[in-house]
Amino acid sequence: MIKSDSKPRQVVRPVITRLLMPYILLFGLYVQFHGDFGPGGGFQAGVIFASGIILYALTFGVARARSLLPPDSLQPLAALGVLLYGAVGVASLFMDGHFLNYSVLSSDPVQGQHLGILLIELGVGITVTAVMVLVFFAFFGRDEEGEV
């Protein structure tokens, strides 16, 4: 279905992908870290980041994308995000607060809240990106390997 060998008529897609992909990934990072101030956050950023990688995979083939981001390294990342989230909660427990009460993370409660939100949004973003890319590889990689 998705051929990685580009025929003569497939010139526009690789060029546009090369042009757009850095901006999509950069926009994903912007949404991730600017989510406190404008619309955005870990969920959206994760999906945008994943869609950038999916665009690359659709254009240049799943095999190339998989060598870029090996599933063996994505699987631990998916777990790492959830663990980071939980770790922030446990850290606030150890600092004499309630579970996921970020105010105790810093001497200033508002600073603590900022730090906590930044960390858990990062956890959410990592998990969502990793899961979306893994799911995509699972669906499209199956097709490609079937052809082998």
Partner 1 sequence: MEFLGHYNYWIVIFLMMTGFYVVISHSNLVRKIIGLNIFQTSVFILYISMGKMPGGTAPIVAEGVTLYSNPLPHVLILTAIVVGVATTALGLALVVRIKEAYGTVEEDEIHAQDESL
Partner 2 sequence: MIETLIDIVLLTFLAVTAIVIVRIRSLFAVIMLAGIYSLASAGLFVVLDAVDVAFTEAVVGAGISTVLLLGTLALTGEQRKTTSRHGPLIPLAVVTLTGAVLVWGTWDMPLFGDPGAPAHQHVAPRYIQDSPNEVGVPNMVTSVLASYRGFDTLGEVTVIFTAGVGVLALLGFRRRKPRHPEREKP
Task: Write out the H or E segment, with its range, that includes residue 66.
Answer: helix 62-68
Q: Is 98 in the site for partner 1 (CB under 8 A)?
A: no
Record the tokens describing residue 32, joined without a space.
């991730």
Q: Which amino acid is at 63?
A: A
In the complex, minimum distance from the CB of residue 6 to partner 1, in angstroms, rounded to a whole number: 27
Report the residue number, 16 or 110, with the smaller CB distance to partner 1: 110
Distance CA 65, CA 78 (A): 17
Which positions ≥6 away from 115 have C-beta within 8 Å? 102, 105, 106
Report the residue number, 8 or 96, with the smaller CB distance to partner 2: 96
Overall residue count recorded for the chain in this entry: 148
C-beta separation of 52 from 35 below 8 A: no
Among 26, 71, 76, 90, binds partner 2 (CB under 8 A): 71
Binding region for partner 2 (CB under 8 A) out of 3-11, 14-22, 96-104: 96-104
Residue bearing tokens 């580009």 = 6
Interface residue list for partner 2 (CB under 8 A):
1, 31, 35-41, 43-44, 47-48, 50-51, 54, 58, 71, 75, 78-79, 81-82, 85-86, 89, 99-100, 102, 109-110, 113-114, 116-117, 120-121, 123-124, 127-128, 130-132, 134-143, 145, 148
